Amino acid sequence: MLLDFDDPRYPWLRWSDWLAAMGLEQLRPRAVLVFNHYDQLIQAAVAGQGIAIGRARLVGELLADGRLVRVGSGAREIADRGFWLVRAAGVQRPEVARFADWLREEAAASA
């Protein structure tokens, strides 16, 4: 499941923008859970509910202590913003693993 942040002030934290930047705007996720409070989005990722786009400065401690982990290469530059993909540690559902593998392959292919 993709965890999306719906706030017009921060469009770079939306999956639609990230997918477009990767040239994947035609993809349609099967499930998206939308949040309008960033802290709730990140807590959902920590709880293992899906994959979120995180702001490095705000999720750095969660990455450092292992509550969140990076998926793929980590960063994408869009409109001078850094993109960091994170997922809850320990989430081993097959669909999450397949999505994480796909993201890693795409990041490697575009590097």
Beta bridge partners of 84: 54
Beta strands in 1-111 (DSSP E): 2-5, 32-35, 51-54, 68-70, 77-78, 81-82, 84-88
Q: What is the predicted pLDDT for the residue at 79?
A: 47
- Domain limits at 28? 2-110
Q: What is the predicted pLDDT for the residue at 46?
A: 94
Distances (CA, A) of 38 to 17, 20, 33, 42, 48: 17, 21, 13, 6, 16
Total tally of structural domains belonging to the chain: 1
Q: What is the predicted pLDDT for the residue at 85?
A: 55
Contact predicate 52/69, CB 8 Å: no
| Residue 103's CATH number | 3.40.190
Q: What is the predicted pLDDT for the residue at 45?
A: 94
Query: What does the pLDDT profile of the chain (111 residues) look like in tens digits?
Result: 899 999 888 887 888 888 887 788 888 888 899 999 999 999 999 999 999 988 888 888 998 999 998 876 655 554 444 444 555 555 566 777 777 778 777 766 765
